[in-house]
Amino acid sequence: MVEWLISETPVGYPEAVAAMEAHVDAMQARTAGEQVWLLEHPPLYTAGTSARETDLLQPGRFPVYRSGRGGQFTYHGPGQRVAYAMLDLRPRGADLRRYVYDLEEWAIRALARFTVRGERRPGRVGIWVERGGGREDKIAAIGVRVRRWIAFHGIAVNLDPDLSHFQGIVPCGIASGPESRFGVTSLHDLGILVSLAELDMALKGAFAEVFEIGGSRQKPTAAH
C-alpha cells in the first residue's frame, strides 16, 4: 500500500528534499514503504541537472535551488500542487522510461477528471493544453530522480498559482510570453474553479488507475 501524506502549510524546498532523501534511504533499508506527498512550496525556482544559466531571467526574484532531478528550470509556489512520489521501480519493471510515461499519464488522467485535455508533446517536458490559434500552454511539470531504482520528486499541477511568477525563468527551456506560441496556464486560468481538495482527490484516483490498477499499459513510443 502507498502511504499518502498531505502538508497543510507550504514546505520549504530544502526541507522537502531532505525529507524525501531520508524516506528513500528508509525504503532502501526496508524500514519504510512507498509514499506520495502532496504539498505546496513558497515561491521559488529550482534548477534541474540540465538547467542553463541563461534561462534564469530574474535571478534575484525568488530563491533558486539546485536540484538533483532531471530537467531545467521550474517554478514552484502557492496554488501549485506538488506531488512527490517515492516509489520502488523494481516491482514495476525497473524501466525509467516507462515510469516517466506513467507520471505523465497520472497528470493527464487527473486533469481529465475536470474535462481538461492534457497532452504530451515530443521534445517538450510536461503536460500541455491547446488554447487555440496554434498556442499551447503548460499546465503540469514533471521531474524525476532515481537512486538504486527508488524514484522520487514527481509532478506539479497548476491549480491557481500567480502565473506572472513564471516570467522569471524560461520554464523547462521552452520560451514563453506574448511573442511565443507557448505559455503557462492553470485550472483556474482555464475557468475550472476547483479546490485544492478536489484536485487532491483527482490525483489520488488517477494514481490508483495508473500505478495500482495498471490503467496506462499502452507501451510508450520513442517520441516520449
Q: What is the pLDDT of residues 55-65, one digit of tens each?
A: 999 999 999 99
DSSP letter string, 87-106: EE-GGGTS-HHHHHHHHHHH
Predicted pLDDT of residue 220 = 41
The pTM of this model reads 0.90
* Residues β-bridged to residue 122: none
> What span, in angstroms and rounded, lies between the C-alpha atoms of 220 and 56?
32
Query: Phi and psi for 157 in degrees, rounded to 5?
Result: -110, 130
pLDDT of residue 218: 46
Q: How many helices (H) and strands (E) does the chain have?
A: 3, 11
Q: What is the pLDDT of residues 51-87, one digit of tens each?
A: 899 999 999 999 999 987 878 899 999 999 999 999 9
Per-domain boundaries in the chain: 3-212
Residue 222 has pLDDT above 50, yes or no: no
**Residues facing 142 on adjacent strands:** 155
pLDDT for res 51: 86
The pLDDT of residue 215: 47
| Right CATH for 3-212 from 3.30.930.10, 3.40.50.300, 2.60.40.10, 1.10.3720.10 | 3.30.930.10
> In the annotation, is 203 catalytic?
no
User: Does 4 have pLDDT greater than 90?
Assistant: yes
Residues 158-217: tens digit of each pLDDT: 999 999 999 999 877 676 555 578 899 999 999 999 999 999 999 999 999 999 854 444
User: Which one-letter amino acid corresponds to residue 165?
Assistant: H
In angstroms, rounded to a whole number, what is the distance separating the alpha carbons of residues 105 and 189?
Answer: 22
10 Å Cβ neighbour count for 73? 24
Q: Dig out the grid coordinates for 203 from the structure.
A: 490525483
Pairing label, strands 150-158, 135-147: antiparallel
The order of strands in the sheet holding 44-47 is: 64-66, 44-47, 73-76
Collapsed DSSP state (helix, strand, coil) of residue 16: helix
pLDDT tens digits, 96-143? 999 999 999 999 999 999 999 999 999 888 999 999 999 999 999 999
pLDDT at position 178: 56
Query: What is the model's pLDDT at position 69?
Result: 82
Using only C-alpha atoms, the chain has a radius of gyration, in whole angstroms, of 16
Pick the more confident residue, 47 or 86. Answer: 86
The catalytic residue among 172, 174, 184, 210 is 172
Residue 80: strand pairing partners:
158
